[in-house]
């Protein structure tokens, strides 16, 4: 048996010490059905080579997204240079212990500090924490941080926030029974309509930039409206868009959160990703997770350490600022390296390519018979369409032609969800043609020929007339 570390004598000595006659005795209390391969109908075991052949055959059946994939809705395909993985694997970053002990964790602490610096520069904020689990949990942490700062106990969340992030927020809020109020989108533009009707106890206003429909929100008026009622504005931003868009900090946001998956991390069927949270100095003491600072040791050498929180603050239950400890350091490192390789000019160029190609594709698709924008607001690299047929049927037919056209949006108009208002995303009612909405994303990995293939396939599918949604 390869890699078996105990000899027969070792095992016999262990069994004798606990009074067991054999290893089988150790599992005597487990029902036999769980141990008997014949009862479970399991195939016989495979050799190492047979196992490799089997896993290779299974992997060959995987469908890996290519240039003709236009999926988005929170996870995006971007080009990741080979240098990212190569540099992230260097031993300087693989220090041996938790960053709570700085004398043996300088590599980890330094790259987390650099990640924080990148997030501050991107968002226009004063400071950033070490990475959080993902963008959805970062949004919930940002909401609670705002409530602690305003001493209020209600949240107003835009219907344009990702529905899954809203689910995470609802889960966070269910324990302390935080009230969640939904802010409707303007029917025509798809932008957040405003804060009219917000209760006086709202301490956090949550919006997404660009929002779930792909629309670029007008943040400055929302920030003014939030501050007018004594609340803080929390913006969940796609950091890739900040190569072109103004920073949340410059537009009046108090807290900026998001997911840095767009830098250095492939979608990978949903993860891992890397959340971030940045804020203004006034709210520094309420920041969740870890915070790394730069300092000098007693010999004057530059070094890094965790700061502004006790090691045990995460286990203080209700007295803790937050109970989140995850920092996704490897993904944060990959994001930092990718941003360093891009630089400001490269980030702007990538964002411009995404924007130009998305607008080109949207215009060509809306020129097809029966296709129109679902909403009319400005967009970055993602847009929503209203098709003349079922979006689910359209997707199936397009996939048969080698194009993954995007994500049907019918789930936005589901039945009322407790705590979120109408629909999972808070969109009011179920409008006619809700089953005909499709969300399409374009990145630099969709070359012009892939856009041509999308339009050609869409023209063919629509001409064939798939089943029309009720």
Q: CATH number for the domain including 348? A: 3.90.1150.10
Which residues are CB-contacts of 175 (< 8 A; sequence separation ≥ 6)? none
Whether residue 60 is contained in a domain is answered as no
Least confident of 74-83, 324-333, 406-415: 406-415
Give the burial class of 430: count Cβ atoms within 10 A of its Cβ; 0-12 exposed, 13-18 middle, 19 or more buried.
middle
Q: What is the pTM of this model?
A: 0.85
Domain ranges, residue 194: 82-335
Please state the domain count of the chain.
2
**C-alpha separations of 429 from 157, 182, 389, 401 in Å:** 17, 13, 20, 34
Q: Has residue 197 got a pLDDT over 90?
A: no
Do both 324 and 387 map to the same domain?
Answer: no
> What are the DSSP E strand ranges found in 249-337?
255-259, 275-279, 292-296, 302-306
Q: How far apart are CA 418 and CA 456, in angstroms?
A: 42
Mean pLDDT of 443-449: 97
Q: Is residue 64 one of the residues assigned to a domain?
A: no
> Residue 450 and residue 66: Cα distance in Å, rounded?
9
pLDDT for 32 equals 66
* CA separation, residue 205 to residues 222, 224, 372, 412 (Å): 8, 11, 31, 20
- Same domain flag for 253 and 193: yes
Write the pLDDT tens digit of every residue in 78-136.
999 999 999 998 887 776 567 778 888 888 899 999 999 999 999 999 999 987 899 99
Q: Which of 252-261, 350-359, 406-415 bottoms out in mean pLDDT, i.e. has the lowest?
A: 406-415
Answer whether residue 17 is part of any domain. no
Q: What is the CATH classification number for the domain harbouring 251? A: 3.40.640.10
> What pLDDT digit, counting tens, does each position of 410-429 carry?
877 754 333 333 433 445 45
pLDDT of residue 425: 41
Same domain, 368 and 325: no
**Could you tell me if 139 and 210 lie in one domain?**
yes
Q: 63 lies in a domain?
A: no
- Dump pLDDT digits (tens) for 151-167: 999 999 999 999 999 99
For every residue of 11-52, DSSP letters joined together read HHHHHHHHT-SSGGGGGTTS-GGGT-HHHHTPPPP--HHHHH
Shared-domain flag, residues 309 and 437? no
Q: Does 145 score more than 90 pLDDT?
A: yes
Identify whether residues 159 and 216 lie together within a single domain.
yes
Q: Which of residues 302, 335, 368 is at a domain's end?
A: 335
- Which pLDDT value is given to residue 38? 66
Residues 401, 330, single domain; the answer is no
* Claim to verify: residue 363 and residue 427 sit in the same structural domain: yes
Does some domain include residue 141?
yes
In degrees, to the nearest 5, what angle opens at C-alpha 393 toward C-alphas 390 and 396?
A: 150
Q: Do 145 and 294 share a structural domain?
A: yes
- Which run of H or of E encompasses 428? none
Task: Out of 295, 316, 335, pick the residue that ends a domain.
Answer: 335
365 neighbors 373 (Cβ within 8 angstroms): no
Of 294, 318, 335, the position where a domain reaches its end is 335
Based on the fold, state whether residues 87 and 220 are members of the same structural domain.
Answer: yes
Average pLDDT over residues 211-227: 97
Q: Once rounded to an integer, what is the mean pLDDT over residues 374-388?
A: 96
Per the CB < 8 A criterion, the answer to whether 115 and 131 are in contact is yes
Domain annotation covers residue 18: no
Max avg pLDDT among 25-29, 42-46, 86-90, 146-150: 146-150
**Would you state the pLDDT for residue 182?**
94
- Is 247 domain-assigned? yes
Burial 329-342 (b: 16+ CB within 10 A, else e): bbbbbbbbbbbeeb
Q: Note the pLDDT tens digit of each residue in 38-68.
A: 667 778 888 999 999 999 999 888 777 789 9
Distance from CA of residue 75 to its chain's centroid?
Answer: 6
Positive or negative CA dihedral for 281, 283, 286, 289? negative
Evaluate whether residue 390 is within a structural domain: yes
Judgement on whether residues 366 and 393 belong to the same structural domain of the protein? yes
pLDDT tier at 373, thresholds 50, 70, 90:
very high
């Amino acid at each position: 048996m390869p890699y078996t570390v105990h000899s027969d004598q070792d095992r016999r000595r262990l069994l004798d010490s606990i009074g067991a006659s054999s290893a089988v005795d150790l599992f005597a209390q487990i029902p036999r059905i769980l141990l008997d391969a014949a009862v479970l109908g399991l195939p016989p075991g495979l050799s190492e080579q047979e196992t490799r052949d089997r896993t290779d055959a299974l992997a060959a059946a995987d469908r890996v997204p290519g240039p003709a994939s236009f999926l988005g809705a929170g996870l995006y395909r971007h080009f990741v240079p080979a240098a990212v993985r190569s540099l992230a694997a260097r031993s300087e970053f693989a220090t041996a212990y938790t960053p709570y002990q700085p004398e043996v964790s300088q590599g980890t602490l330094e790259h987390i500090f650099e990640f924080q610096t990148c997030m501050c520069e991107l968002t226009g904020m004063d400071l950033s924490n070490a990475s959080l689990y993902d963008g959805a949990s970062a949004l919930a942490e940002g909401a609670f941080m705002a409530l602690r700062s305003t001493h209020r106990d209600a949240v107003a969340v835009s219907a344009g926030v990702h529905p899954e992030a809203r689910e995470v927020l609802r889960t966070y809020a269910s324990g302390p029974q935080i009230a969640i109020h939904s802010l409707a989108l303007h029917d025509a533009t798809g932008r957040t309509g405003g804060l009219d009707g917000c209760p006086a106890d709202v301490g956090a206003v949550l919006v997404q930039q660009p929002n779930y429909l792909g629309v670029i929100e007008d943040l400055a008026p929302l920030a003014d409206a939030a501050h007018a009622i004594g609340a803080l504005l929390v913006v969940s931003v796609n950091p890739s868009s900040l190569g072109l868009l103004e920073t949340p900090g410059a537009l009046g946001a108090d807290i900026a959160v998001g997911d840095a998956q767009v830098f250095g991390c492939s979608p990978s069927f949903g993860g891992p990703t890397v959340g971030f949270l940045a804020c203004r100095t006034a709210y520094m003491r309420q920041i969740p997770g870890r915070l790394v600072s730069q300092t000098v040791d007693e010999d004057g050498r530059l070094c890094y350490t965790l700061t502004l929180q006790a090691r045990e603050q995460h286990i203080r239950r209700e007295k803790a600022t937050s109970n989140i400890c995850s920092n996704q350091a490897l993904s944060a490192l990959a994001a930092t390296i990718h941003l360093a390789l891009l630089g400001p000019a490269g980030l702007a160029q990538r964002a411009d390519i995404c924007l130009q190609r998305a607008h080109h594709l949207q215009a060509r698709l809306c020129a097809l018979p029966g296709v129109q924008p679902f909403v009319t607001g400005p967009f970055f690299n993602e847009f929503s369409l209203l098709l003349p047929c079922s979006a689910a049927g359209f997707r199936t037919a397009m996939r048969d032609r080698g194009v993954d056209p995007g994500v049907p949006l019918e789930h936005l108009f589901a039945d009322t969800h407790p705590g979120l208002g109408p629909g999972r995303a808070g969109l009011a009612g179920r409008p006619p043609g809700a089953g005909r909405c499709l969300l399409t994303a374009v990145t630099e990995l969709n070359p012009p020929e892939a856009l041509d293939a999308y339009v050609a396939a869409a023209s063919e599918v629509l001409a064939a007339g798939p089943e029309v949604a009720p």
